[in-house]
C-alpha cells in the first residue's frame, strides 16, 4: 500500500493550516479528507458498515433517498436535472 501522510491537529485552525501546507506542497494533486483515524479502515458509506444483510441495507438506502427527495426541495434552490444532482446534494 502506498504511504499516506498523516497529520494530527487539536484545533480546527491547525486542520486548516495543515491543509494549506499540503496544498502548497502538492498543488498538482486533489486533497481528500477521509475523517478516519486509520488508513486501514475500509472506505465505505456508514450505511454499508453494518452486519445486516445487504437486502436490508439496500432497502434502507432506498427509503432514505426517497425521504430526502421529498423533503429537500423546500431547503434548496438547485435545478436538478438527474439523479446525480440529487445524490450530490445529499
Q: Where in the sequence is the domain holding 26, given as residue range(s)?
A: 1-41
Same domain, 49 and 84: yes
| pLDDT digits (tens), the chain, 90 positions | 566 677 788 999 998 998 898 888 888 888 777 677 777 777 777 777 888 898 998 899 889 888 888 887 776 766 667 777 777 777
Contact in structure between 53 and 61 (CB atoms under 8 Å): no
Radius of gyration, alpha carbons of the chain: 18
Same domain, 48 and 37: no
Same domain, 1 and 27: yes
The total domain count for the chain is: 2
Kindly provide the b/e burial profile for residues 57-79, where b requires at least 16 CB atoms within 10 angstroms of the residue's own CB.
beeeeeeeeeeeeeeeeeeeeee
CA angle 33, 89, 76 (to 5 degrees): 130
pTM to 2 decimal places: 0.47
Same domain, 32 and 49: no
Same domain, 81 and 50: yes
Same domain, 48 and 87: yes
Same domain, 52 and 11: no
Amino acid at each position: 500500500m502506498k504511504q499516506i501522510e498523516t497529520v494530527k491537529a487539536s484545533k480546527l485552525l491547525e486542520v486548516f493550516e495543515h491543509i494549506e501546507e499540503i496544498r502548497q506542497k502538492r498543488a498538482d494533486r486533489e486533497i481528500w479528507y477521509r475523517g478516519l483515524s486509520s488508513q486501514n479502515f475500509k472506505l465505505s458509506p456508514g450505511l454499508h458498515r453494518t452486519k445486516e444483510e445487504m437486502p436490508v441495507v439496500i432497502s434502507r438506502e432506498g427509503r432514505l433517498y426517497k425521504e430526502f427527495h421529498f423533503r429537500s426541495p423546500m431547503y434548496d434552490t438547485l435545478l436538478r436535472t438527474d439523479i446525480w444532482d440529487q445524490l450530490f446534494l445529499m
